[in-house]
Amino acid sequence: MPHTKLRRLVTISVAVTLGATALAACGSSDDSDSEADSGPVSLTYWSWTPGMDKVADLWNKGQGKKDQITVTVKKQASGDTLVTKILTAHKAKKAPDLVQAEYQALPTLVSNDALADIAGEVDGVKDKFAEGVWQQTTLGSDAVYAIPQDSGPMMFYYREDLFKKYDLEVPQTWDEFAETARALKKKSPDTDLTTFSANDSGLFAGLAQQAGAKWWTTEGDQWKVGIDDAASQKVADFWGGLVKEGAVDNQPMYTPAWNKALNTGKQIAWVSAVWAPGTLTTAAPDTKGKWAMAPLPQWSGSENVTGSWGGSSTAVTTDSKNKSAAAKFATWLNTDPEALTALAKEGGIYPATTTAQTSGAFTEPPAFFSNQPDFYTKASEIAKTTAPSAWGPNVNVAYTTFNDAFGSAAKNKSDFGAALKTMQDDTVADLKKQGFEVAE
Amino acid sequence: MTSARRKSYGVKGAPYAFLLPAAVLFALFFALPIGYALWLSLHKVQVKGLGLGAGARKEVWAGLENYTDSLTDSELLHGALRVLGYGAIVIPVMLGLALLFALMLDTDRVRLAPFTRLAIFLPYAIPGVVAAMLWGFLYLPDVSPFYFILDKLGMPQPDLLDGGPLYLALSNIAVWGGTGFNMIVIYTSLRAIPTEVYEAAKLDGATPLQTALRIKIPMVAPSLVLTFFFSIIATLQVFSEPTTLKPLTNSVSTTWSPLMKVYQDAFRTGDIYSAAATAVIIALVTLLMSFGFLRAANSRNKQEEAR
């Protein structure tokens, strides 16, 4: 009996000690770099780009060694989840010094006071980027909240061999695109030109952007939401019509079924962005060398614009104790030729700086597009035509509503215009609920 | 004298000393987070002007606003109804199968009992997300071997990821994963029934079927109540199956189940305050439903005892 009691006591005290240790671990992560901007500095960087640690090593061994700035990369999940994670860390005043953020997430992060204004640290950097790209990091103010890293100009991808087989022309306008879809249905009823997918809002946002939509704008101290403006309505009606008449498929992208459709030629085109070769390599491995890239179809023959889908920037957080050191690294990472070449090689990104888009790293086409030697020359020309984008503080709300409203509209082949209206209404309602002033 | 006094002091203090570690852990890792969630649910963020830059956002008292918003949100109600429909399929089928398998394993004539038991139990060992992915692949017409066979046989190929069949598809995942666990619980309590009872039944001329219906089922009733209780909670908290199937189809929305709505509010739209309120509501409903069921089951038992 006493023996059992003793054992139990030991067990309990072990449990308590473990609990206490866990608590101590929670509380004692105080920053070692409180000496601020003098002497050696170490920075943490949250990024999802593969191989970013290798690029940071280049810095740590070169420029960083001179400036006594060491950068440690912590690999993260991409997109929305990272935004939440940054905001949570920021709430505890423990956000890392540097974060990777998609352009459309910047207003949300800025509105939560998570990103520092680094305008004073980045003189002359602006000229290295296309106007439409840089403007996304300033949110229309004098501040600079991030430095552009990669961009995702949209393009039209198609199966060159199957277009020849079905005797189809590469569409120059969206009208021709619709005709192509119908012509293909007539020739081969089981084959679709492409699908309208409701699971990636970025695609629709990019298409609306190409049509001239401005989803979030400011008027004095008020936000104006234009998700159901004429340009977006045009895009929604166009795709809604194609889905309704059955000219294109209505199933989501990135599913095993979608991979198979691309791999077997059941879907023969994809409206995508510059990063598509990477996705196609894994989704449709058997079709290597059979695809070609062309500019996105236009709304009128005289136009030459594209939207952007994806792309991200490097930002310095307000929690960083070494903001100018962090800004220095962010500038190096996104403008230094050596860094950009490494980023392109290790991370497979398409850089936002205009000079890097035609640099040595981009003389060869992606391996999957070996049949199109001028892939990157063409891409950089298309990138120059990117329409400006307009993001607001609740893109995440608009995007989730898009998933649900357009998901069910695509499923039921019902009115896409109504889905767009839902998206507008929910976005406005959320802004008002948070206390933003909204212009009607 | 002194030693006696010290002894009595020690005895008095001992229970508290033993209670302390558990109480501390309970307070830190259970009561505190719940309290924080309650606190969050009574607050909201207020933005000034364009909401850009420092000091544009502050946390303010919201009273019951988040709760009223949550309760009047039709999406949450629809989610709750969807989950009820899902539970109405899962619980009877899963527990029915679990009871049937347990009774069958308990008969004398069964062969390969240990192997069968393990085979039925094994799906429970597979994580829910993995199971949902596995079944998701089997449901997708373009990649599923079932559809390939149906196609070759010229049979109709229903779309399992849409409308009514979607409920069956989701329920199937839960039934496949949960039957084994519930079967083990029931089977264990079947094995605990003393053999004299069976001997008496046999002497009275009861057939195996009669033994099962008249003796075994009433005697394992407490386990049935327990498994039912667990199943209600699991159903109300369904999350991973619909979340995993969501990317595969347009039919599962981001707010398909109430818990998915909490996740979406907290981690996609970044509104932890209303997410906390919805979470509290779900917890209360779960508590009410499960304890309501336990009470009903207990009072029935007492009535039967009184008879």
Of the given ranges (A103-107, B145-149, B165-169, B237-241), which has the lowest mean pLDDT? Answer: B145-149
pLDDT band per the 50, 70, 90 thresholds, residue B305? low
Mean pLDDT calculated for residue range B283-292: 89
Residues in chain B within 8 Å Cβ distance of A223: 50
CB B189 within 8 A of CB B102: no
CA distance B35 to chain A (A): 18
- Going by pLDDT thresholds of 50, 70 and 90, the confidence category of residue B11 is confident
**Sites in chain A below the pLDDT cut of 50:** 1-37
pLDDT at B95 over 50: yes
Pairing of strands A269-273, A147-159: antiparallel
Contacts of A23 in chain B (CB under 8 A): 28
- How confident is the model over B61-70, as a mean pLDDT? 92
Q: What is the domain range of residue B300?
A: 73-306
**CB B255, CB A400: distance < 8 Å:** no
Residue pLDDT, tens place only, B96-138:
999 999 999 888 777 788 898 899 999 999 998 999 999 999 9
For testing the chain A interface, which of B269, B271, B272 should be mutated: the one with the most A CBs within 10 Å?
Answer: B269
Q: Residue B53: pLDDT band by 50, 70, 90 thresholds?
A: low
Classify residue B1: in a domain, yes or no: no
Picking from A12, A83, A416 by the largest number of B CB atoms within 10 A of its own CB, the best residue to mutate is A12
- Give the closest of B141, B162, B254 to A403, CB-based: B254
Do the Cβ atoms of A80 and B254 come within 8 Å? no
Q: Say if CB B238 and CB B257 are below 8 A apart.
A: yes
Domain count for chain B: 1
What is the C-alpha to C-alpha distance for residues A242 and B221, in angstroms, rounded to an integer?
58
Write down the pLDDT at residue B10.
64
Query: Nearest CA to CA, how far is B21 from chain A (Å)?
Result: 6
Question: Using the beta-carbon criterion (under 8 Å), do A108 and B270 form an inter-chain contact?
Answer: yes
Domain-embedded: residue B4? no
More confident residue, A263 or B151: A263
Say yes or no for a CB contact (<8 Å) between B250 and A221. no
pTM, rounded to two decimals: 0.85
Least Cα separation, residue A259 to chain B (angstroms): 10
How open is the CA angle A171-B249-B74, to the nearest 5 degrees?
Answer: 115
Assigned domain for B16 exists: no
Alpha-carbon distance A223 to nearest alpha carbon in chain B (angstroms): 7
Residue-level pLDDT at B256: 94
Q: Is residue B50 part of a domain?
A: no
Interface mutation vs chain B, best among A10, A433, A438, most B CBs within 10 Å: A433
Q: Which residues of A touch B250 (CB under 8 A)?
A: 198, 250-252, 407-408, 410-411
CATH of the domain at B148: 1.10.3720.10
Binding-site residues on chain B for chain A (CB distance < 8 A) = 18, 21-22, 24-25, 28-29, 45-57, 137, 140-143, 162, 247-251, 253-255, 264, 266-270
Q: Largest alpha-carbon pair distance within chain A?
A: 93
A261 contacts on B by Cβ (under 8 Å): 142
Q: Classify residue B152: in a domain, yes or no.
A: yes
Instruction: Give the side-chain half-sphere CA count within 13 A for B154.
Output: 0
Say whether residue A11 is in contact with chain B using an 8 A CB cutoff. no
Answer whether residue B160 is part of any domain: yes
DSSP string, A221-282: TEEEE-TTSHHHHHHHHHHHHHHHTTSSB---SSSHHHHHHHHHTSB-EEEEETTHHHHHHH
pLDDT on residue B7: 55
- CB-CB neighbors (< 8 A) of A252 in chain B: 247-250
* Helix (H) or strand (E) segment spanning residue A16: helix A2-27
Q: Look-up: residue for tokens 């206490």?
A: A20
The pLDDT of residue A38: 60
Output the pLDDT for position B306.
67
Instruction: For residue range B158-202, list pLDDT tens digits in order.
Output: 888 888 899 999 999 999 999 999 999 999 999 999 989 988 998
Question: Is residue A157 a contact partner of residue A269, using CB atoms and an 8 Å limit?
Answer: yes
Domain presence at residue B173 = yes
* A112 closest CB neighbour out of B46, B57, B141: B57
* Mean pLDDT of all residues belonging to chain B: 88
The verdict on a CB contact (< 8 Å) between A400 and B51 is: no
Interchain contact A198–B (C-beta under 8 A): yes
CB A274 within 8 A of CB A383: yes
CB atoms A436 and B47 under 8 Å? yes
* pLDDT tens, position by position, A143-183: 999 999 999 999 999 999 999 999 999 999 999 999 999 99
Q: ipTM strictly over 0.90?
A: no
pLDDT tens figures, B17-30: 999 999 999 999 99
CA atoms within 13 A on the CB side of B10: 6
Q: Is A78 an interface residue toward B (CB < 8 Å)?
A: no
A136 φ/ψ sector (left φ>0, alpha ψ -120 to 50, else beta)? alpha
Identify the pLDDT of residue B29.
93
Residue B135, in any domain of the structure: yes
Assess whether pLDDT exceeds 90 at residue B244.
yes
Pick from A329, A305, A319: nearest CA to A389: A305
Measured between beta carbons, the chain A residues lying within 8 angstroms of B61 are none
User: Is A409:A383 a contact under the CB 8 Å cutoff?
Assistant: no
Domains and CATH numbers, chain A: 41-151+310-367 (3.40.190.10), 152-308+371-439 (3.40.190.10)
Q: Exposed, middle or buried: residue A175 (CB in 10 Å: 0-12, 13-18, 19+)?
A: middle
Share of chain B above pLDDT 70, in %: 95
